[in-house]
Structures are given as C-alpha cells and as structure tokens.
Structure 1
Amino acid sequence: MKGAPLAVSDLRVAYGRRVIVEGLNLAPLQPGTLTALVGPNAAGKSTLLRGIAGLVPRTRGTVRLGDRDLLGMSIPERARHLAYMPQGLPGGVALTVLETLVGALRAVPTNLAPDGASAASHAIAVLRQLGIEHLALRYLDRLSGGQRQLVGLAQALAREPEVLLLDEPTSALDLRHQVSVMTLVRETVLRAGLVGVVVLHDLALAARFSDRLVALSAGAIQADGTPEETLTPDLLARVYEVEARVERCSLGHLLVLADAPIKGAA
C-alpha cells in the first residue's frame, strides 16, 4: 500500500544500559514529504533514525507505516517497505558497485528484480539516474568517500522503498554533489510519494530541501515544524548555543548566520 504515513509513538532507543531516546513521539510523516532531523553532535539524530529503521535491538515503542507495525516485522519483511542508508558503507568489500546493487536487490526479492539480468538492468538505471554509471565496474573498496556515499544512496533507492531513511548523505560530498544529491532525493520523494527522513548537519541544506524540520537535543525533540517555524534565533541559542540570525538570500532560501558562541555555554 503506497502512500501511507509513518507514525512514531513512545519510542525508546538504548545501547545497553545507555538510553539515548526516551518516550519520543512524532506526528505522522506524510508520503511525498522530506523531513530533516537536525541538531548538534550527540543530539540523538542518527540513533533516532536507526531506531525507526529497527536496527537497534533495544528499541521499544511503535513505528507504523499506515496500519502496519514495522518494528514487529522480520528484517526481510521490513526491508520491502523501508530503506536505510548509513553514514558510510562498510570497508573491505571486494565487490564491484554493480555487484553490490544487484546483491541488495536480490537479497529481498521484489518485482523489480525477478532475475539476475533484470536486477542488473535496474541497477544500471539507478546508477545512471545518480550520474555515477561510470562507477559500475569499480570496486567498492577503491572508491573515494564521496563516491561511496553516492553508491550508498543508489543502494537505498534501488529497491524503490516506501520509506527512505538517509543518515548524513552529503557528509563526504563536495558542494556540487551536495546540491545534486539533495535535489535528487527531494525529487524522488515527491515523484514516488515516499516518506523521506534525512539526518543533516548543514542547516541551509535542511531548510532548502526539506518540508519539515525536527530539531533534537539530548535525544528529545526541541522543535518540529516547517523550516520557517523551526529555525529561529531562540532555537539556535537553546539547541546550538550560538547567537545567530536567520535571513533569506536573494533567491529566497533561508540562511543561518552564526555570529558568536553564547558565553558560559559548554
């Protein structure tokens, strides 16, 4: 069932005895929208994303896609609905880019890739969409950090999920690729009606490309709304501990200008 909202209720995520997220609730994330999780280092952004993806064993609460309980599903079943892109692909993988994409497609059988030939054809199409088809026969462990980031995005998009979770997809990219990747992510979310959630450090990128911003600090939500509603000098002072201004450039994009750290803050 395409087009279902994603709802998170009373979420608790812990690593061993260390609780990172406790009792977190998110109003439904609508299909065809991109939500950015923002906040300072150690705010719990990546942990929240991994909790939603069901990748942390000590996750409790409810993550529902429409009427389906994602956390109650087996990993292969959940993978049919949800794709997660980590901050970086694992090292030491002696496979070509094409082989990794075909493997990802074949690991969870779908109508997209009923056989090896169709999987390869679909994988090439995704690489071409990202402008990295020239990397198809390159070995993953010989790529630059930015190239590996783009391959990770290709793996996430290849299965055409209903929910797309991206953890800092622009962290290793230059300016050109940051803009092109976020443009592609937004266009894909809109065109396919996906629920998109992305962790970003760059507030300008988050404000420009997302429909909704969720600002986190210490594992708790500090603000949730449109970029205009969320990015305020007060929020930046409370969450980032900086004196800052929020202005618009000549093209109308929101810009955050940090003037100084707040004295006495850690």
Structure 2
Amino acid sequence: MTASDVEDSRALEVLRTWQWLFYGPDGYKSPVEMGLGEAVSRLALEGVPNAHRAMLRLLCRNEVTASGFFRWRKYQWGNYYSLEGSNEVLVPNRWQVLADAISEEAQALKNHEFPASFVNLEKLELTDCDIYEWAYLDNRFSTAICPPETASTDRDYFEEWYSAWDISIYPRFPAVEDFCDDDSDVSTPVANRGGRPAVADWESAALEIAGRYYRGDLKPKTIADVSRELAGWLGSQDVYPSDSAIRLHAKGIFDAFQSWERD
C-alpha cells in the first residue's frame, strides 16, 4: 500500500464519522453537503496527511461527489462550445484534468524544469489564464488547456477552459448505514464512539424547532433566526456542530416554514 493509499483510506475513515443526513421538520431525510474548504480543513484537523491531495484523489475516483457552479468553454476543429451550470454535480473527469495539471507541474519541477503557469487561449479570447488554480480553501478551482507546440491549424489543436466555485462535497457511501447500527432506528442518535464528539440529533432538533413554530414561540424572519434557535437547543444537549452544518439545517427548516406560510 502506497502513502497515497494510506492517506485516502484514512480520509474515508474520517469522513464516515461525520453527520451526512439532514432531518427536516416533516421527518424527511436528505444528504448533507459540506463546503470543500471546510471538509479539507476538518480532515487535516483530524490528522489526515496532505488532506487536500487525498480529497482530490477521492473526487477523481468519484468516491466523494462535488456540486457547485461552473462555466466551461471549448474550441476544437473550428467549433465553439460553452456551458454553465448552478448547483450541479461536478463530474469526475473535471477533477482528473486538475489532478493531471498538478502532476505535470510537479514532474517538471522534479526534472529541474520551469513549467509554464499561464496559457493564452486565443480562439476563446482568454489571455494569461492559469493552467490550473486549486483554491480548495475558497471552494473553487479552474483549469485551462491548450496542447503545447501546436498551431491553431493543426488537427490536434484545441482550447478548453473550465472554472468551478461555491463547491460542496458529500461522500458516496450510504449515510444511514454509517450512522446507525444494523438493528437501530434511523432516528436514534449514535452513541459517542472512541472519544469523538456526539453526533447531532438533527431530527429531534428539527422537531423541537417546528414545535416552537407551531406554538407561536418562534416567528423567524431569516435563516439566522432559525440558526440561533438550533444552536441553542443543540448546545443544551452538549452538542456543538460547525456553523456551516447548523446553517444548512436551518435553511431547510426555514424553507419549510416559508412553504407552510404560502400554503
């Protein structure tokens, strides 16, 4: 087993200990996403070496799925293509292009060469593009490709530019099985194992906030209002999730309240 295999295995092991289910006030369950930067930083905090590299390899192999906003443009054989997306899955081959660009740069430096950092995409009218930008802490990356030492009239010539941002990730393994014993009910919170912090009981939290709403004790005007109520209740249970996790659940609850108001 290589050092990379060890890092990837450790990263998946840590990911499996996190809460990946959202419980809405109506009792429905859905996967929880986490910002790319937060996920990488939490992996590093829990002792995963080279967490950003491990995350990229998992994304390339589709063991972790990412979604976000993207723009894509390409020129090939006299044809122009473009596409934009919002809150869409970022397919694995886009991550592989990024990984290849990083690998090629590392190999060039190893050979005591000076790899190019920028490229001009003349047909796409994009100049001084970063060949790659891997800003995982800012939840974004970009790539720009043009085959070196080829003319625009060559058969193999093409230009391609891709940028993705506001990236969130979630694992491919089944969340329910990872947080419940075989004989336990999904709504039963998992006991604290191995000294890790207790997992937030989001279903009970959502029901508590919904109860306050029905009784008229809570009339939230913003997601932040729901976030404060959630944080307070979870704190009373001695559970302290990250602000981003609280906001994610608060948004789902707030959206449900807004839907109820419209109905």
Greater helix content = 2
Greater strand content = 1
Q: TM-score, length-normalised on structure 2? A: 0.25
Bigger Rg over Cα: 2
Q: TM-score, length-normalised on structure 1? A: 0.25
